[in-house]
């Protein structure tokens, strides 16, 4: 399957395009979630080896440069969830302000046990998802087709700065299908939660060594202590996707932070 990527900085100029052949073809068609220069979308194909339905979540990264913008390399990472004794269906994906993201889905055990709504989180500074956690267990078994026959209803969420609102289905003991809504506050993993921000206390100039201890002008945070900053080497200047330019280096954390406010909404 080809993924078509279109971009522009100046609305008076033509759109530019690039394509990427995905590692696997999405079974569901969904609008990708976009954040921090990356696109996320998720689907539930059948695993050829086991015959069980699994979850595949794609993270597509696009390299943008120049003005007018040019679309460079597109890379596709695929995160797969599967379970030998269950089908995993109806997944959703969201990304929060800290760069962490969540995937939630329904798990249908082949043993005949009642289905469960579950979720998994990966923090912004990590490369693998944490183990799954329970959102809501159903009280009675219900055939999968009763859940997935309407594929327009898979789940919805609204992210906060360090948290998600997600929704999915479950069944009561009478067999009635209802929706559960939960606020998931996964925290910051190996980082520290400072107010509503995930911070690395060893390098964060606003939270150096502990929350809210900021380094002064011309200082850097190294190993949790504020120190004089070395002279910076020459670098390419930061250019945001809308053409806004700053004096920060293009690969710096400052560039990422500044350009978050210049992403399309």
Beta-carbon neighbour count of residue 55 at 10 Å?
A: 25
**How distant is the alpha carbon of residue 222 from its chain centre?**
28
Collect all residues with Cβ–Cβ distance below 8 Å to 214 and sequence separation of at least 6. 205, 206, 207, 208
Q: Contact, 41 vs 32, CB < 8 A?
A: yes
pLDDT of residue 75: 81
**How distant is the alpha carbon of residue 220 from its chain centre?**
29
On the question of pLDDT at 26 being above 80, the answer is: no
Collect all residues with Cβ–Cβ distance below 8 Å to 204 and sequence separation of at least 6. 221
Q: Contact, 117 vs 104, CB < 8 A?
A: yes
The first and second tokens of residue 185, run together, are 């506050």
pLDDT tens figures, 184-227: 877 788 888 888 778 899 999 999 999 999 998 889 999 999 99
* Helices then strands, each counted (H, E), the chain: 2, 19
pLDDT tens figures, 109-141: 998 899 999 999 988 788 889 999 999 999 988
pLDDT tens figures, 222-251: 999 999 887 766 788 888 877 788 888 877
The closest of 239, 237, 243, 238 to 11, measured between CA atoms, is 243
Q: Is the pTM of this model over 0.75?
A: no
pLDDT of residue 171: 87
Collect all residues with Cβ–Cβ distance below 8 Å to 203 and sequence separation of at least 6. 221, 222
On the question of pLDDT at 150 being above 60, the answer is: no
Helix, strand, or coil here: 257?
helix
CA distance 88 to 136: 15
Of 230 and 5, the structure prediction assigns the larger pLDDT to: 230
CA distance 226 to 216: 8
Kindly state the percentage of the chain with pLDDT values over 70.
77
The closest of 45, 127, 125 to 87, measured between CA atoms, is 45
CA Rg value for the chain: 21
**3-state DSSP percent of the chain in helix, strand and coil, to 5:** 5, 45, 50
Grade residue 152 by pLDDT with cuts at 50, 70 and 90: very low
Q: Which residue has the tokens 């202590």?
A: 225
The closest of 41, 8, 6 to 24, measured between CA atoms, is 41
On the question of pLDDT at 79 being above 90, the answer is: yes
């Amino acid at each position: 399957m080809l993924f078509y990527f279109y971009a522009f900085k100046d609305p008076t100029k033509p759109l530019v395009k690039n394509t990427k052949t995905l590692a696997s073809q999405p079974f569901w068609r969904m609008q990708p979630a976009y954040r921090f220069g990356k696109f996320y979308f998720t689907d539930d194909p059948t695993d050829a080896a086991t015959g069980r339905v699994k979850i595949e979540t794609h993270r597509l990264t696009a390299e943008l440069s120049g003005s007018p913008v040019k679309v460079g390399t597109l890379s596709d990472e695929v995160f797969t969830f599967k379970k030998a004794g269950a089908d995993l269906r109806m997944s959703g994906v969201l990304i929060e302000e800290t760069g962490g993201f969540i995937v939630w889905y329904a798990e249908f055990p082949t043993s005949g046990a009642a289905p469960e709504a579950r979720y998994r989180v990966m923090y912004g500074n990590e490369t693998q998802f944490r183990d799954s956690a329970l959102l809501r267990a159903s009280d009675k078994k219900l055939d999968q087709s009763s859940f997935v026959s309407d594929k327009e209803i898979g789940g919805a969420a609204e992210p906060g700065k360090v948290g998600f609102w997600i929704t999915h289905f479950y069944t009561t003991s009478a067999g009635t299908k209802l929706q559960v809504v939960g606020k998931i506050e996964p925290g910051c993993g190996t980082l520290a939660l400072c107010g509503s921000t995930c911070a690395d206390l060893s390098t964060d100039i606003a939270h150096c060594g502990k929350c809210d201890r900021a380094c002064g002008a011309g200082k850097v945070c190294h190993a949790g202590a504020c120190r004089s900053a070395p002279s910076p080497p020459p670098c390419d200047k930061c250019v945001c996707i809308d053409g806004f330019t700053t004096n920060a280096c293009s690969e710096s954390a400052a560039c990422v932070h500044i350009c978050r406010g210049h992403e399309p909404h």
